[in-house]
C-alpha cells in the first residue's frame, strides 16, 4: 500500500483561512497585523519567495510592508532600517529575506530584530526560548513540519524521530520541537557514518539536507512518516526534494510531496507568527 500524501498546499490553505479569521478579529479591535519584509539586492529567487509571502499575507488580511533596499546597502544602513521597523507600531513582524549580500553582517542584522517581532524565530532569544521549552515565535519551516504531523494524525510521543540536517533554521529547531512533543530524537548530518542504518530506525524522518533525492527507499522504515524539507532545482529546471519520492512513497506510511508540501506550510506559518505577534503586542 502506498503512503498517505500529506497535502501541504491544502493544509496551508486551511491554516491561512484560520489566520484570516484571527486577523479579522484583531482588526475589529483596531489592530491589523502587519509584516515588514526586508529584501536587499535583486536575487531573483528571493524576490519570488517574497512575492509568495506577500500573497499569503494579503489572503489572510495581514498588511505587508515592502522594504526593498539596493544591493550596495551597508550593514549600518540595514541596522538603521531594522531599528525603524522595531519602533513602528504598525509592524508586528519583521522578516529579513536571506541570503543577504556577502558584505553585510547577517548575524548582526538578524540579532537586531526585536524578539517580539521575530517572526522567523532566528534571534538567539527566540532560539533560546525554544531550547528551554518556552517558545516565543518559532522558526516557520519546522513549525510547519510539526503542524503537518499533528494534522495528519502521526503519533510523535514515544516514537523515534530522525532529523537529517543540523541548520539553525530547520534541523536544530525541528529536533527541539520533536523533543518537546516527547519523541526520542536523533540528529544526523554530513559527518554521520552509516546514515542509512540510522534513518531506517526512524518512525518519523525529517529530511533537511539540501541534497536532491538523497533519501532512497532502502533508508526508510516501512510505515514511517517522511517529511521532505528539501527544495532542489534539477538541471532540467524541475524541483525535487531530498527524498526519492516515487520509491519512498511505496514504502512510507505518510509522505510530503515537493513542491506542495513543506514549502506552502512554511509561508503559512510566517503569517501565523505575524498574527500571533500582533495579538501579543495588542495585549
Residues that bind ligand GUN (CB under 6 A): 95-98, 120, 140-141, 169
Per the annotation, the verdict on 19 as an active-site residue is no
Under a CB-based contact definition with an 8 Å cutoff, are residues 233 and 255 in contact? no
**Which residue among 19, 53, 228, 242 is the active-site one?**
53
Nearer to ligand GUN, 98 or 179 (CB): 98
CB of 237 to ligand GUN, least distance (A): 19
Please say whether the beta carbons of 36 and 67 come within 8 A: yes
Distance (Å, whole) CA 244 – CA 163 = 16
Q: How far is the CB of 95 from ligand GUN (least distance, A)?
A: 5
State the catalytic residue, choosing from 19, 81, 117, 120: 120
Shortest distance (Å) from residue 120 CB to ligand GUN: 5
Q: Please confirm, yes or no, whether 238 is among the known catalytic residues.
A: no
97, 118, 172, 276: the active-site residue = 97
Pick between residue 164 and residue 231 the one whose CB is nearest to ligand GUN: 231
Instruction: Select 29 or 51, whichever has its Cβ closest to ligand GUN.
Output: 51
Is residue 273 within 8 A of residue 141, CB to CB? The reply is: no
Nearer to ligand GUN, 45 or 196 (CB): 45
- For residue 17 the three cell numbers come to 483561512
Closest to 39 (Cα-Cα) out of 31, 29, 49 = 49
Give the span between the Cα atoms of 29 and 16, in whole angstroms. Answer: 20
Helix (H, G, I), strand (E, B) or coil at 7: coil
Minimum distance of ligand GUN from residue 147's CB (angstroms): 15
Say whether 218 is catalytic.
Answer: no
Q: How many helices (H) and strands (E) does the chain have?
A: 10, 11
> Which residue's entry shows cell 516515487?
246
* C-beta nearest to ligand GUN: residue: 98
Residues serving a catalytic function are 53, 97, 120
Amino acid at each position: 500500500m502506498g503512503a498517505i500524501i500529506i497535502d501541504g498546499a491544502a493544509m496551508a490553505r486551511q491554516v491561512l483561512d484560520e489566520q484570516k479569521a484571527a486577523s479579522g478579529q484583531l482588526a475589529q479591535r483596531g489592530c491589523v497585523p502587519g509584516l515588514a519584509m526586508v529584501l536587499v539586492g535583486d536575487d531573483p529567487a528571493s524576490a519570488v519567495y517574497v512575492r509568495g509571502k506577500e500573497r499569503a499575507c494579503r489572503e489572510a488580511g495581514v498588511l505587508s510592508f515592502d522594504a526593498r533596499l539596493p544591493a550596495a546597502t551597508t550593514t549600518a544602513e540595514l541596522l538603521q532600517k531594522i531599528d525603524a521597523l522595531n519602533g513602528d507600531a504598525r509592524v508586528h513582524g519583521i522578516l529579513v529575506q536571506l541570503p543577504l549580500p556577502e558584505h553585510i553582517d547577517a548575524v548582526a542584522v538578524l540579532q537586531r530584530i526585536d524578539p517580539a517581532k521575530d517572526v522567523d524565530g532566528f534571534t538567539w532569544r527566540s532560539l533560546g526560548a525554544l531550547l528551554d521549552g518556552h517558545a516565543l515565535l518559532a522558526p516557520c519551516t519546522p513549525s510547519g513540519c510539526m503542524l503537518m504531523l499533528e494534522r495528519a494524525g502521526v503519533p510523535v510521543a514515544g516514537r523515534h524521530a530522525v532529523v537529517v540536517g543540523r541548520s539553525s533554521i530547520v534541523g536544530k529547531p525541528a529536533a527541539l520541537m520533536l523533543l518537546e512533543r516527547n519523541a526520542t530524537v536523533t540528529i544526523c548530518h554530513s559527518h554521520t557514518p552509516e546514515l542509512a542504518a540510522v534513518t531506517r530506525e526512524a518512525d518519523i524522518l525529517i529530511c533537511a539536507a539540501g541534497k536532491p533525492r538523497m533519501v532512497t527507499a532502502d533508508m526508510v522504515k516501512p510505515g514511517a512518516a517522511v517529511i521532505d524539507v528539501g527544495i532542489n532545482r534539477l538541471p532540467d529546471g524541475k524541483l525535487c526534494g531530498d527524498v526519492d519520492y516515487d520509491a519512498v512513497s511505496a514504502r512510507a506510511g505518510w509522505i510530503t510531496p515537493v513542491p506542495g508540501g513543506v514549502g506552502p506550510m512554511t509561508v503559512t506559518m510566517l503569517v501565523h507568527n505575524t498574527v500571533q505577534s500582533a495579538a501579543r503586542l495588542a495585549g
